[in-house]
Amino acid sequence: MPRKVNYRIDYAEDYDYHDDYDYDHDLESNGEAPKEDQSVSKPGYWRCAICTYDNDNDDNLTSCDICGAVRIAPVGNSFEVKAVDDICKDPGVSVLAKSLFASLPRGKPKMAITMQRQGKFSDFQNAFNIPDSRQHINIAPFKFDRASPDDMVSAGKKSYGKDIKAKVPQFPPSKTSPVIAEKGKMKAVSNAKKYEASSSTSNKVGRLNSNDRSPISGSGVVEEDKIQATTSDFLNLKLKPSIYNQKNDVNGRKTASFDEYKPEPWMLPDQKEQTLPLLNLAIVGHVDSGKSTLSGRLLHLLGRISPKEMHKYEKESKQMGKGSFAYAWALDESSEERERGITMTVAIAHFETKKYHVVVLDSPGHKDFVPNMISGATQADAAILVVDAALGSFEAGMDGYGGGGQTKEHAQLVRSFGVDQIIVAVNKMDAVHYSEERFNFIRVRLGSFLRTCGFKESSIVWIPLSAMENQNLITTASELRLLTWYKGSNLLEAIDSFLPPVRETSKPLRMPICDVMKSLLSLGQIAVSGKLEAGAIRNGSKVLVMPYGHIATVKCIVRDSRACSIARAGDNVDVGLQGIDASIVMAKGVLCHPEYPVAVAASLELKVLILDITMPILVGSQVEFHVHHAKEAARVVKILSLIDPKTGKVSKKAPRCLTARQSAMIEVNLERAVCIEEFSKYRALGRVYLRANGKTIAVGVVTRIIHQ
Ligand code: GTP
Ligand code: MG
């Protein structure tokens, strides 16, 4: 069902594996609460169930000092204790799930998976280094003054990739249907010929669409809005168009001028096609807010998880004393995720609504996995921000770690990914007795923050729901306490109210590679997964695999476990490649049109918006640089100017440092070059994120590639 993707982020070594971990509201298989409170390690301390840190047992402590996970029953908070009791004493999942089985359509059995992940940590290190036996492998990729959680994640010895079970759709094996295979072959040959022909005659000047979402103008209405320079203002800043015409050679091949590109007719969307438009939907939010449970429940309700599968998840989760995670198990597939009860990598699943074929990107909420969240959710066209309504939990997402909970960080990030349509799913309303007052409180507080991120009020849909009790998911709520005050749409209707995303179909192919898989079945076949950000491919197309610049042929394309012949911008697919050595295909590379390669650069000029940082950014500051699925160590080498976010004009030249909520032009040098584009040319490949000490410190765009 869902496909886990490995973003090559290993787990932190010091992030202890905690076998005994359990939520204290989980039930033992006999339906009774666990006898021993596993969350308390020793008198005077409260052990965090997520990161196992022993916090002081302070009465006022509502969340973990280290990771911000909510303390389930904060001492002295009777409301919360009661709410938790409501969950604990009722084996809700079981009853609800069983009651749903009978009425739901049977899902298709899972396909057998026999794919093996390609790439170890050493490959990650080697990425972008031309293979050279004399080269020394640097084991520590980042050199920060102080080790950030991301450092530890990167340098961790535990290879998460080894444990993970790849849920990758099987590529059509060449032997299965001789007819199809033969057809495919013929097609491939003829397509390749056509491609050659069209490539060699592509001298006409093609017009490029400037087709990303229109900029958003936010309107500050509350105090918070006034003090902070808004992201929307930042996003409104005009970028100087500087289309650089590439005439460079990649491995000796001639490359064409970007302006000369003209898409072939098959690359453009076929109006006659009866398929639903695709919507890449990121599910984001603070740790434990219920993202995976919500996604799993939706998939189950929509018949994408069969009753048999659901029954299995339910049984197994109960056996492990984690009954409440039954729905989350559909997305959290690795043994480590299930044991810990947290999502670590983005899971991909599919379902259909009346209007869309939805690709669900269920993100991890824990702060240590923000890099994974970035890598997965950058593919999003729209997002559901899940917040936990329970008392103390919502507050932790907003205020944890000195104001930097993941509700805020994720909201800020998805807006900077270009997402401007968002549903706020106020989950766990059952835990607050479906209180209208609580919902309104959350709406006012979070709403003002979302406006500062650049979301328009009219583009935010607020839905009170309960994933656990199936309220307001795909039908109108049945809970009277909710019905008395909420008359709005349910989650499925809200998803259908999203405007269709605009795609870069008339630009040359760009598909950032988020994962590489090597098939065991047909040796020599390599498959990559990711979202086509621009252009199109079909069976037989020649693609340029960057950064090494080798040509491969598309052997097959799989979307939602089904083979398809064409994939266009916006599609989230697995692509089988042939004619290329597996060792030079890597996650964080990009598939390109053979004549229009992506830039590979290490020296960049950026326009950035500084987030809520406490330490100023100086010339020489070390940062982690993120773009699409790539992450690289970088250094700020120049602070060129401060920019007035309202006017977009330079307000101060060469300031000494950058502080929270300032907009600025800077120059960064990366330790190793990455596949990147100027924002004005390809938005998805020109959006960047700077992180340090486990926090996102700036979002920005590439304004100029200084050296290629
Ligand atoms: P991460 O991916 O680790 O960030 O967590 P998550 O946001 O995916 O949360 P997950 O779905 O794993 O759920 C966390 C806990 O919240 C589980 O114990 C769920 O049973 C519980 N939960 C989820 N939805 C609801 C809900 O609607 N009501 C109640 N009471 N509990 C819920
Ligand atoms: Mg999850």
175-189, 227-241, 313-327, 553-567: least confidently modelled range: 175-189
Count CB-CB contacts under 10 A for residue 174. Answer: 18
- Of residues 707 and 494, which shows the higher confidence score? 494
Q: How confident is the model at residue 4 (pLDDT cuts 50, 70, 90)?
A: low
Q: Which ligand is nearest to the CA of 331?
A: 2
Q: Is residue 317 classed as helix, strand or coil in its secondary structure?
A: helix
Q: Tell me, using a 6 A CB cutoff, whether residue 455 lines ligand 1.
A: no
Which pLDDT score is estimated for 174?
Answer: 36
- Whether ligand 1 lies within 6 angstroms of the CB of 293 is answered as yes
Q: What is the pLDDT of residues 319-340, one digit of tens each?
A: 989 989 999 999 998 888 999 9
CA-nearest residue, atom 20 of ligand 1 = 324
Lowest-confidence pick of 3-7, 313-317, 435-439: 3-7
pLDDT at 379: 87
The answer to whether the beta carbons of residues 50 and 63 sit under 8 Å apart is no
Of 89-103, 114-128, 225-239, 241-255, least confident by mean pLDDT is 89-103
- On the question of pLDDT at 190 being above 80, the answer is no
State mean pLDDT over 130-141: 31
Does 540 have pLDDT greater than 50? yes
Asked which of 136-150, 526-540, 604-618 is least confident by mean pLDDT, the reply is 136-150
Predicted local distance difference test score (pLDDT) of residue 402: 56
Whether 328 lines ligand 1, by a CB cut-off of 6 Å, is: yes
Please determine, for residue 687, whether its predicted confidence score (pLDDT) is greater than 60: yes
What integer pLDDT is reported at residue 267 of this predicted model? 83
pLDDT of residue 83: 33
**Ligand 1 lined by 297 (C-beta under 6 Å):** no
pLDDT, tens digit (0-9, with 9 covering 90-100), for 568-602: 999 999 999 988 888 889 888 999 999 999 999 99
Angle at 126 between CA 125 and CA 132, to 5 degrees: 145
Does the beta carbon of 430 sit less than 6 angstroms from any atom of ligand 1? yes
Rounded to whole angstroms, the Cα distance separating 244 from 253 reads 18
For residue 538 and ligand 1, the question of a CB distance below 6 A is answered with no
Mean pLDDT calculated for residue range 399-407: 71
Which residue from 39, 40, 50 is spatially nearest to 16, judged by alpha carbons? 50
Question: Based on the number of CB atoms within 10 Å of its own CB, is 22 exposed (0-12), middle (13-18) or buried (19 or more)?
Answer: buried
Ligand 1 atom with minimal separation from the 341 CA:
12
CA 42 / ligand 2 centre spacing (Å)? 28
Pick from 294, 324, 384, 432 the residue to mutate for probing ligand 1's pocket: most ligand atoms within 8 Å of its CB: 324
Q: What is the pLDDT of residues 58-90, one digit of tens each?
A: 666 666 665 556 665 433 333 332 333 333 222
Classified as helix, coil or strand, 124 is helix
pLDDT number for residue 260: 74
Q: Please give the distance, rounded to the nearest whole angstrom, from the Cα atom of residue 204 to the centre of ligand 2.
A: 49
Q: What is the C-alpha to C-alpha distance for residues 254 and 248, in angstroms, rounded to an integer?
A: 7
Closest C-alpha to ligand 1, atom 5: 288
How do residues 544-560 score in pLDDT, each as one tens digit? 999 999 999 999 999 88
Q: Is the CB of 292 under 6 A from ligand 1?
A: yes
Supply 225's token pair. Answer: 């809005």
Percent of the chain with pLDDT over 70: 61
Give the pLDDT score at 377.
84
List the single range of 491-495, 574-578, 618-622 with lowest mean pLDDT: 574-578
State if residue 280 touches ligand 1 by the CB under 6 angstroms criterion.
no
pLDDT at 646: 83
* Residue 467 CA to ligand 1 centre (angstroms): 8
Nearest CA to ligand 1 atom 29: 428
The ligand minimizing its distance to the Cα of 70 is 1
Indicate if ligand 1 lies below 6 Å from the C-beta of 23: yes
Residue 288 · residue 386 · CB < 8 Å: no
For residue 361, the CA-to-ligand 2 centroid distance in Å is 10
The verdict on the CB of residue 290 being under 6 Å from ligand 1 is: yes
Residue 299 or residue 180, greater confidence: 299
pLDDT at 437: 96
- Distance, in Å, from the CA atom of 453 to the CA atom of 233, rounded to the nearest integer, reads 9
In this structure, the residue with its CA closest to atom 3 of ligand 1 is 342
- Least confident span in 187-201, 367-381, 451-465, 494-508: 187-201
342 CB less than 6 Å from ligand 1? yes
Least confident of 201-210, 282-291, 531-540: 201-210
Q: Which amino acid residue places its CA nearest to atom 14 of ligand 1?
A: 288
Relative to the alpha carbon of 324, which ligand is closest?
1
DSSP characters over 622-664: EEEEEETTEEEEEEEEEEEEEE-TTT-SEEEES-SEE-TT-EE
Distance of CA 77 to the CA centre of its chain: 35
Share of the chain above pLDDT 90, in %: 48
Residue 361 has pLDDT above 50, yes or no: yes
pTM for the whole structure: 0.67
**283 Cα: distance to centroid of ligand 2 (angstroms):** 9
d(CA 438, CA 428): 11
pLDDT of 530:
92
Q: Per-residue pLDDT tens for 444-473?
A: 999 999 998 889 999 999 999 999 999 999
Look at residues 79, 43, 37 and name the one whose alpha carbon lies nearest to residue 62: 79
Q: What is the mean pLDDT of residues 380-385?
A: 95
Q: pLDDT digits over 408-434, tens only?
A: 999 989 998 889 999 999 999 999 999
Compute φ and ψ for 550, nearest 5 degrees.
-105, 145
Q: Is 494's pLDDT higher than 90?
A: yes
Q: How far is the CA of 289 from the centre of ligand 1 (A)?
A: 5
Over the stretch 338-354, which tens digit does the pLDDT of each residue have?
A: 999 999 999 999 999 99
For tokens 């919360």, what's the residue? Answer: 80
- Please report the pLDDT score of residue 121 as a whole number: 30
Asked if residue 87 has its Cβ within 6 Å of ligand 1, the reply is: yes
Of the candidates 438, 429, 498, the one whose C-alpha atom is nearest the C-alpha of residue 470 is 429
Q: pLDDT class for 53, splitting at 50, 70, 90?
A: low
Among 27, 63, 288, name the best residue to mutate to test ligand 1's pocket (greatest count of ligand atoms within 8 A of Cβ): 288
For tokens 């390669």, the residue is 597
Q: Determine if ligand 1 sits within 6 Å of the CB of residue 406.
A: no
Instruction: Give 37's pLDDT tier (boundaries 50, 70, 90).
Output: very low
Q: Which atom of ligand 1 is nearest to the CA of 287?
A: 4
The Cα-based distances of 690 to 87, 141, 268, 395, 703 in angstroms read: 39, 16, 35, 25, 15
Sign of the C-alpha dihedral computed for residues 597, 601, 607 and 613 taken in this order: positive
Helices 393-403 and 436-453: crossing angle in degrees, nearest 10, is 40
Q: What distance in angstroms lies between residue 330's CA and the mean position of ligand 2's atoms?
A: 10
Q: Which of these ranges, 48-62, 192-206, 251-265, has the smallest mean pLDDT?
A: 192-206
Shortest-distance atom of ligand 1 to CA 93: 20
Pull the structure tokens for residue 476: 């109108």
Q: What are the residues facing 556 on neighbouring strands?
A: 576
User: Of ligand 1's atoms, which has the minimum distance to the CA of residue 326?
Assistant: 20
Q: Which of 94-108, 462-476, 502-516 has the lowest mean pLDDT?
A: 94-108
Q: What is the mean pLDDT of the chain?
A: 72
Indicate the pairing of strand 622-627 with strand 687-692. antiparallel
- Of 530, 508, 687, the C-alpha closest to 598 is 508
Residues 193-205 have a mean pLDDT of: 31
pLDDT at 515: 87
Residue type, 668: V
**Using a 6 Å cutoff on CB, does residue 506 contact ligand 1?**
no
pLDDT at 698 over 80: yes
Strands annotated E in 496-653: 510-512, 515-519, 526-531, 536-538, 542-546, 550-559, 562-564, 566-568, 572-578, 590-592, 599-610, 617-618, 622-627, 630-643, 650-653
Check pocket membership of 365 for ligand 1, CB cut-off 6 A: yes
Better-scored residue on pLDDT, 573 or 30:
573
Count of Cβ atoms closer than 10 Å to residue 357 Cβ: 17
Asked if residue 234 has pLDDT above 50, the reply is no
Instruction: For residue 363, report the distance from its CA to the centre of ligand 2, in Å.
Output: 6
Ligand 1 atom 26: the closest Cα is on which residue?
428
Quick one: pLDDT at residue 72?
Answer: 52
